[in-house]
Amino acid sequence: MGYLYDTSFDPSNPSASLLISSDNGGIRGGFRINYVLSSGRQYILVVTTSQASLTGDFWILARGPALARLTSIASPPTSKQYCFLFLLMDETNIASIVLGVVAGFYSTIFLLCLSDVVHLNKEMTKMKHELEDLRNQSIIFNRSSFVDSSNKILLTRTNISGKLCLSYDEQRQILEYINFICNMAILLFGSYSIYVHGIGTHHGLAYRLFFFICKLCTIIASIWLNLHFKKGLPSDIFLYIWIDINCVVSIYRSLRQII
Give the highest mean pLDDT range of 2-11, 23-32, 245-254: 2-11
3-state secondary structure of 113: helix
Q: What is the pTM of this model?
A: 0.37
Q: What is the mean pLDDT of residues 139-146?
A: 48
pLDDT category, 88, cuts 50, 70, 90?
A: very low
pLDDT band with cut points at 50, 70 and 90 for residue 121: low
Chain mean pLDDT for the chain: 64
Give me the residue spans of the domains in the chain. Answer: 1-88, 92-135+166-258
Report the phi/psi class of residue 230: left, alpha or beta, with left for phi > 0 and alpha for psi in -120 to 50.
left
pLDDT score of 49: 67
DSSP character for 70?
Answer: -
- The mean pLDDT of 140-164, rounded to a whole number, is 47
pLDDT at 173: 76
The conformation of residue 131, written as its DSSP 8-state character, comes to H
Q: What distance in Å separates the CA atoms of residue 105 and residue 181, rounded to the nearest whole number?
A: 10
